[in-house]
Amino acid sequence: MALRSTPPRRGRTPHKPGAPTGQVQSLTRGLSILEALAQVDSGLSLTEVGHRVQLPVSTAHRLLATLEKMGYVYQADDLGLWHVGLQAFTVGSTFLANRDFIGRSHAYMRRLMEQSGETANLAILDGTEAVFIAQVQCHETMRTLVKLGSRVPLHASGVGKTIFASLPDEQIDAILKVRGLPRITENTIVAPETMWAALRVIRQRGFSFDDEEHARSTRCVAATVYDEHAEPLGAISLAGPSSRLSDERIRQLGPLVAHTAEELTHTLGGKWPHPY
């Protein structure tokens, strides 16, 4: 049940003369140039910039010169290639500094709860554990609740396992050597080879599954939310009693949670990683 990953951005359609009313042509052209440069780490020549944004070379050069004076782009002396400048990073960093992870996640958690009928949770990575920071409770009398601020191990929880799978292999290996795989319930994965196999499955399908591995009679599905570096920012999950979360429901809810995590990643300015 592999989850389709979002294809890499190919840039927006460049604004041409006769752009819709309400758009400032020179501004949209300048931003299109910044977007084109941001997609290529090695830089672009003047001709390549003009081609990518569908502008005459002379127009592209005037816009680049203006952006250069403001610090948004710079030209490398050796090859004459254009790159995104420090001022663009400074402006972008302001968004990241003011990003409200919990506040902006709430609408997605509530929608997820309404779609599934189960409690939605939000967690972040802290060291070698996941910490719950937000929750939207479902309307069922029998429901699974967690205390905000409570911690769960990476190897034995839905939010923990999806974050675990999102880490580089060397970091996973280091955590396994330091923390091991202590048993919490009879379903907890305690063999390293079994854990590695589980993490590979999570990477392939895009969500984790906690089958009463942290708490008896509780099942959970979770997916990772990524930051601007395609590194785990946190995880969003659905949890409920095992009596309601049958295998069939897990197969239905897993892709739903994964899709929500992908949407939230993009809303927060994050980067969805390429398939493993």
Q: How confident is the model at residue 95 (pLDDT cuts 50, 70, 90)?
A: low
Residues 158 and 122 in one domain: yes
Q: Which long-range contacts (CB under 8 A, 24 or more apart) does 269-272 make?
A: 269/95, 269/96, 269/99, 269/228, 270/225, 270/226, 270/227, 270/228, 270/230, 270/233, 271/226, 271/227, 271/228, 271/229, 271/230, 272/5, 272/6, 272/226, 272/230
Q: Which pLDDT does position 100 carry in this prediction?
A: 80
The stretch 185-191 carries a mean pLDDT of 97
Residues 106 and 226 in one domain: yes
- Percent of the residues in the chain that have a pLDDT greater than 70, as a whole number: 88
The stretch 138-150 carries a mean pLDDT of 85
13 assigned to some structural domain: no
Average pLDDT, whole number, for the chain? 87
15 assigned to some structural domain: no
Residues 134 and 69 in one domain: no
> How many domains does the structure of the chain reveal?
2
- Domain containing 71 equals 25-96
SS3 for 38?
Answer: helix
The stretch 222-233 carries a mean pLDDT of 94
175 assigned to some structural domain: yes
* Alpha carbon distance 122, 106 (integer Å): 9
pLDDT value at 21 more than 90: no
75 assigned to some structural domain: yes
The residue among 47, 74, 96 that closes a domain is 96
| Model pLDDT for residues 198-226, shown as the tens digit of each residue | 999 999 999 999 999 999 999 999 999 99
The residue among 35, 66, 96 that closes a domain is 96
Instruction: Give this prediction's pTM.
Output: 0.67
